[in-house]
Amino acid sequence: MSSTARLTWLRIRLAFVGISVTLGVVACGSVAVQPMPTATSDGPLVEQLTGEVSDARAMKHLQALQKIADEHGGNRAAGTPGFDASVEYVVGVLRDAGFKASTPTFDASGDDDEDPSVPQRNVIAQTRTGDADHVVMIGAHLDSVEDGPGIVDNGSGVASLLEIATQLGADPSVQNTVRFAFFGDEENGAVGSNGYLEGLSANDRKKIKLYLNVDMVASPNGGYFVQGGKPGSWWRRLRWGSDPETVGPAGSATIGRVLADQLSKTGVTTPEMIEFVGDDESPFIEARIPVGGAESGDEEEKTTQQAKAWGGQAGKPYDPCYHEACDRVDNVNRDLLNHYLRALAGALAHFATSTAELR
């Protein structure tokens, strides 16, 4: 390349570097200070439901699940009497709230043809009102690991759904049908949620307009994490990529935004958007159903910045009892549970009223 050409080329390159640095700075600038966009105003159902749900009643469900684990060898793991008793408990609460609860089975025998077929149960209940071709779904896994009673993981999710279902009732005035799911065998790899979607016809899968996953919402040293899409700028898109497994199908960002907005409205400082990690939302992502998720953190350590924003201890796990025998009722962070309960009620009511934003 000639010297003048090289000189010209050098100028072009410098100019280009100049542009990208500027863009980078602008982008970095925008990433750091970009506030969470606020969602549309809340309708009457959001106000009503967020006002009615109570963490005190949710705690009663956690105490009941603890008692079940204590009476069944210390756990509520898939395929155990502790899990079956948990199913009966959830069905009982839903029926008392006026729902027709069903317990569709799924095969939990895994891939090896040698394994005998092991039918296990999910629990499903939905409102009698709302458009049944337009279903808004929320779910939490009901099983624990074998090493402990699973009160934060995931009794806290189950208790939140039971309290929301009880306050909503089976005949609310809603535009869209609301469906509650309590999945089995999540701890062995989202087996129950996979079995649930596989058990539906393609047409029935299409009727599910969104799925909100709730897995651990009361970690003792927890945080406010929301899953769903990608907030903000091209810079983040560049950084995170757009793999549906981690960001969710189109529409997931709207679910994440609405849930984060509802958390902020309960007084939480800037919920953090995180990627999906392969919980019960995975089969819904595979089915191209928009998804969102709420979780308060497990064995990873809280950062200094997070401790400043949300309280708690930096450098310590969000839940030191994660998957341990000590994951009992006294491991529950009531304050976190209270914020998440109201935010989940708000987000569910928001989409039970309208899913227009998802389109």
In the chain, beta strands by DSSP E: 105-107, 119-121, 123-126, 131-141, 176-183, 208-214, 225-227, 272-274, 291-295
**Which one of 2-10, 211-219, 228-236, 246-254 is the stretch in contact with Zn ion (CB under 5 A)?**
211-219
In whole angstroms, the minimum distance from the beta carbon of 21 to Zn ion comes to: 43
Torsional class of 110: left (φ above 0), alpha (ψ -120 to 50), beta (otherwise): left
Retrieve residue 188's tokens. 């062995």
Nearer to Zn ion, 153 or 319 (CB): 153
Q: Which of 163, 186, 187, 295 is catalytic?
A: 186
Residue ranges in 93-152 that form contacts with Zn ion under rule CB under 5 A: none
Among residues 153, 261, 280, 281, the one that binds Zn ion under rule CB under 5 A: 153
Shortest gap between Cβ of 88 and Zn ion (angstroms)?
21
The answer to whether residue 154 forms part of the interface with Zn ion (CB under 5 A) is: yes
Q: What value, to the nearest 5°, has the Cα angle with vertex 103 and ends 83 and 248?
A: 85
What 3-state class would DSSP assign to 193? helix
Unique residue bearing structure tokens 């570097």 = 17
Query: Which C-beta is closer to Zn ion: that of 170 or that of 336?
Result: 336
Q: At 165, give phi and psi (nearest 5°).
A: -60, -40
Considering the complex, state which of residue 143 and residue 261 has its C-beta at the smaller distance from Zn ion. 143
Annotation marks residue 186 as catalytic: yes
Nearer to Zn ion, 215 or 261 (CB): 215
Part in contact with Zn ion (CB under 5 A); list of ranges 36-44, 93-101, 176-184, 207-215: 207-215
Residue 64 CB, shortest distance to Zn ion, in Å, is: 18
CB of 221 to Zn ion, least distance (A): 17
- Interface residues for Zn ion in 165-204 (CB under 5 A)? none
List the structure tokens of 276.
Answer: 């999906």
Sole binder of Zn ion in the list 42, 163, 185, 215 (CB under 5 A):
215
Phi, psi of 351 (to 5 degrees): -80, -20
Instruction: Compute the least distance from the CB of residue 34 to Zn ion, in Å.
Output: 30
Is 229 in contact with 293 (CB distance < 8 Å)? no
Residue 163 is a binding residue for Zn ion (CB under 5 A) = no
With 0-12 / 13-18 / 19 or more C-beta atoms within 10 angstroms meaning exposed / middle / buried, residue 31 is middle
Q: Interface with Zn ion by CB under 5 A: which residues?
A: 153-154, 215
Annotated catalytic sites, by residue?
186
